[in-house]
Amino acid sequence: MKRFFPHLIWISGLVVLFVGGACAGGPPYQDPTPEMLARELSQERTFEILSSVGLSLIAVGVLWIVARRVLTKKPHETIA
């Protein structure tokens, strides 16, 4: 389970990014009412939050995997 956990983190980051993209608003309205503008602003904020959380999860997962591979590499191993 220890080896799978970092992969689970970056995969969940991808899922969060996908959900954020699905929650994002479509093209802007042509003649929006104030309610429409408020909804569009709310959707933009939701997308910004979900995308930053998703990208952070991806970065943490990938960095964890790379750090674990670098730190657990044995000194006598050579890169070929």
> What average pLDDT does this structure show over 12-25?
88
User: What is the pTM assigned to this prediction?
Assistant: 0.76
Q: What is the pLDDT of residues 19-76, one digit of tens each?
A: 888 887 778 888 889 999 999 888 889 899 999 999 999 999 999 999 988 888 766 6
Residue whose token pair is 């993209």: 21
Cα-based distances in Å from 12 to 29, 35, 45, 62:
32, 33, 20, 12
Q: Is the pLDDT of residue 1 over 60?
A: yes
CB 40, CB 32: distance < 8 Å: yes
Alpha-helix residue ranges (DSSP H) falling in 1-80: 5-23, 34-71
**Which position has the higher pLDDT, 5 or 25?**
5
Q: What is the pLDDT of residue 53?
A: 94
- What one-letter code names the amino acid at 60? V
